[in-house]
Amino acid sequence: MCPENGRSVVYARNKRKLKEKNYQHQSSGAHKTAVDIVNVRKKQTLETCIHDANSHMFAETVRIFRTAYAVAKMNMPFTCQKTLVQLQELNGLDMGRVHRSDHSCASILKDMAVGMKKNLCLQIKNFDSSRCPYVR
């Protein structure tokens, strides 16, 4: 039996033939590739776990930020943030355990406003007025 996949079974007429097949398989390209893949996975296990955890936390933060943006876009009070997060969790999303209060919603929107203002100022500074006849 193959140790990687317990369902794979190699049949042979006698023990000597089975040993020959096993010996031939050990020197085959397929076996070498499988061994290389297993070794790479062992080395990258910690890196992969950290990457997965970070991407999961990033996805939660993105959902919270989008909810806060929707609150501001629809002129809702900041206290609606908690209710909207609970609604999204009822719909099956993982929203994390942070940034649920009205104070965090206000802080998030303040940071968004600063970033959007910087972006707008840069676009205005880099605007080429020679291409637009209406702006003088």
pLDDT 10s digits, 65-83: 999 999 999 999 999 999 9
pLDDT tier for residue 136 given thresholds of 50, 70 and 90: low
Tell whether 132 is covered by a domain: no
What residues contact 77, with CB distance under 8 A and at least 6 apart?
71, 102
d(CA 103, CA 83): 14
**pLDDT for 10:** 61
Residues 39-65 have pLDDT tens digits of 877 776 777 777 777 888 889 999 999
Tell whether 26 is covered by a domain: no
Tell whether 75 is covered by a domain: yes
Tell whether 117 is covered by a domain: yes
**pLDDT for 4:** 47
Tell whether 15 is covered by a domain: no
Tell whether 10 is covered by a domain: no
Tell whether 14 is covered by a domain: no
Domain that holds residue 75: 46-126
Q: How far is CA 119 from CA 6, 10, 114, 133, in A?
A: 57, 64, 9, 23
- The answer to whether 37 and 51 are in contact (CB under 8 A) is no
Q: How many domains does the chain have?
A: 1
pLDDT tier for residue 134 given thresholds of 50, 70 and 90: low
Residues 90-132 have pLDDT tens digits of 999 889 888 889 999 999 999 999 999 999 999 888 887 666 6
Tell whether 21 is covered by a domain: no
Q: Model-level pTM?
A: 0.57
